[in-house]
Amino acid sequence: MSNPANSPPSSSARKRLMLMMRPRATKANALAALLALLLGFAVATQIRQNQSQGLESLRQSDLLNILDDTTLKSSRLDQNVRELQTTRDQLVSGTTSGAAAVTAAQERLDVLGILAGTARAHGPGIRMTITDPGGKVTYPVLLDAIQELRDAGAEAIQVNNVRIVASSHFGPRASGIEVDGRSINQPYTIAAIGDPATMSSAMEIPGGLAENVRQLGATIIIAQEKELTVGALHPLTEPRYARPVPPSAATTP
């Protein structure tokens, strides 16, 4: 059998194999067939079992390894979650604080725009019309009127089509009055936004503007209005000399 060069044993072996192939009805052969059937069944079953294997058939050490792996992975993922949550929180608070900053800046812009005369303003107020046929109403009278209105709480003032701001100045001109370098003609119309009752009573007090104007021979009409628009704008000019002081710097007395 261990002699490969010997051909007769091999051919006889094949003959024997052929002989065995013939069905023989012996008890032992039947038993062998049964065992072979069992073997085939077991092989197929085991293969199926192995393919659909879950954790239940694993040994303790394998289960421990899997558990360790899973725990490690889970803690890593937990850390990931924490980091991402932190990033998300930062982003969310960043956007909300950014939005709040934008809102605050917009409010500030509105307030400053009304103060500086770069924004149109509307609201309740009074409208005064001064008609002066004799030409007696001079610029100090108008300056007084503006001063009185401010005293009474006017927040936005317009004379004819000139917006009155902090730097506004009045002066004489041949054909009337000059405000901020612009000539204004009669009738002088002053629109002021503020509390209408307070401002009109301030105009009408004895010795106040209305009485002065009437003494000069001019007529004045004061009308309280619920809704008034101060539409004239003051052109914004860059200050040539004044510079803002940094907030942290010490203030010079």
Partner 1 sequence: MIPALGLLIGLAAGIFLHPTVPLALQPYLPIAVIAALDAVFGGVRAVLDGIFNDKVFVVSFLSNVVVAAFIVFLGDQLGVGSQLSTGVVVVLGIRIFSNVASIRRHVFRA
166: contact with partner 1 by CB under 8 A:
no
CA distance 231 to 120: 5
Min separation Cβ 43 and partner 1, Å: 5
Smaller CB distance to partner 1: residue 5 or 242? 5
Smaller CB distance to partner 1: residue 36 or 236? 36
With CB under 8 A as the rule, give the number of residues binding partner 1. Answer: 44
| Helix spans in 120-228 (H) | 139-151, 196-204, 209-215
167 three-class SS: coil
Smaller CB distance to partner 1: residue 1 or 174? 1
Q: Which of 51, 54, 55, 56 binds partner 1 (CB under 8 A)?
A: 56
Min separation Cβ 49 and partner 1, Å: 5
CA distance 166 to 152: 16
CA distance 216 to 231: 30
Min separation Cβ 9 and partner 1, Å: 8
Q: Which of 51, 54, 61, 174 binds partner 1 (CB under 8 A)?
A: 61
Distances (CA, A) of 26 to 19, 20, 36, 39, 224: 14, 12, 15, 20, 129
Smaller CB distance to partner 1: residue 39 or 84? 39
Nearest Cα residue to 236 out of 69, 114, 66, 141: 114
Smaller CB distance to partner 1: residue 11 or 90? 11
59: contact with partner 1 by CB under 8 A:
yes
Min separation Cβ 71 and partner 1, Å: 22
Binding mask 7-46 for partner 1 (x = CB under 8 A): x-xx-xxx-xx--xxxxx-x-xxxxxxxxxxxxxxxxxxx
Smaller CB distance to partner 1: residue 1 or 250? 1
In this structure, what is the dihedral angle of CA atoms 175, 151, 194, 209, given to the nearest 10 degrees? -50
From the CB of residue 219, how many other CB atoms can be counted at a distance below 10 Å? 13
191 three-class SS: strand
Half-sphere exposure of 181 (CA within 13 A, CB side): 3
Smaller CB distance to partner 1: residue 53 or 74? 53
Min separation Cβ 67 and partner 1, Å: 17
CA distance 16 to 187: 138
51: contact with partner 1 by CB under 8 A:
no
Binding site for partner 1 (CB under 8 A): 1-2, 4, 7, 9-10, 12-14, 16-17, 20-24, 26, 28-50, 56-57, 59, 61
